[in-house]
Amino acid sequence: MNEHEQAFVRAFIVEDKQERYLAKLGSKRHRKEFLSRFHHNLDFEPKLATRVPPSEQSASGIHERLRKLGAPTQCYAIAADDTLDGRELPLKDALDAIVGMGSGIVLSCVPGVLAYYESEEMKGRFVFARALRPNKSFERTREG
């Protein structure tokens, strides 16, 4: 299981569902079926979720909001869609691909700190944040 997945579950999923989420996400057999639940239902901690306002309901609006909160240029996708699931992608490209797609997906920006969730529901766009650090970049540094 990826660091982003484990950190997302521990940070943003209600405590009594965390072990089930971790088990299903870590299962080759049950992962895809379990991820299809994200279309309609994600057992997230409401106090850590902010619904994206109508004025920001575009890929560029969401991108701007996430970047202001410290999102790096890359994100990690957790999705029922095999073409996206388990991939690290440029945040802007990922948002361009998924906003309005009508599919449940989580983009983990900073493990356990900042993520975006889009469900197939009309008002189902949320930013999850634990420790907001505006204007602070979380870009990963690569040591050679």
* Residue (of 109, 114, 111, 117) closest to 131 by Cα position: 114
Q: List pLDDT tens digits, range 66-99.
A: 999 999 999 999 998 889 999 999 999 999 999 9
Res. 135: pLDDT tops 70? no
Q: List pLDDT tens digits, range 29-49.
A: 888 888 888 887 889 999 999
Domain boundaries, the chain: 3-129
Three state DSSP letters for 42-86? CCECHHHEEECCHHHCCHHHHHHHHHHCCCCCEEEEEECCCCCCC
pLDDT confidence of residue 131: 65
What values do phi and psi take at 49, rounded to 5?
-110, 140
